[in-house]
Amino acid sequence: MISAWENGREGPGFRLLPAIRRVLGVSLDSLICGEGGKTEPAASAPEKLTTRNEAEAELLRAFRRLPARRRKALLEMID
């Protein structure tokens, strides 16, 4: 089961996420969406961005569906 998680074939069930969140000290958003890092206080939350048109919104949705390592690779590629 864990091998499937590590290789991106499957993820943990939603019932396990609260326990995983507590052990790792990350937010549920980080676990579900793949955002890295420790949980930060709300005061240092990033600025909320809005999309300018439907094409930009679809790009953002597609980006968020990517696994974390692919998002990182894409960002490195366009930098």
pLDDT in tens, 1-10: 778 877 777 7
The answer to whether 10 and 4 are in contact (CB under 8 A) is yes
* Model confidence at 62: pLDDT above 50: yes
The ranges assigned to domains in the chain are 2-39+52-78
Reference 29, options 43, 38, 66; nearest CA is 38
Per-residue pLDDT band at 44 (split at 50, 70, 90): low
Q: Which residue has the higher pLDDT, 75 or 12?
A: 75
The pTM score is 0.40
Amino acid making up residue 34: G
What's residue 46's pLDDT?
A: 61
CA 12/CA 43 separation, integer angstroms: 30
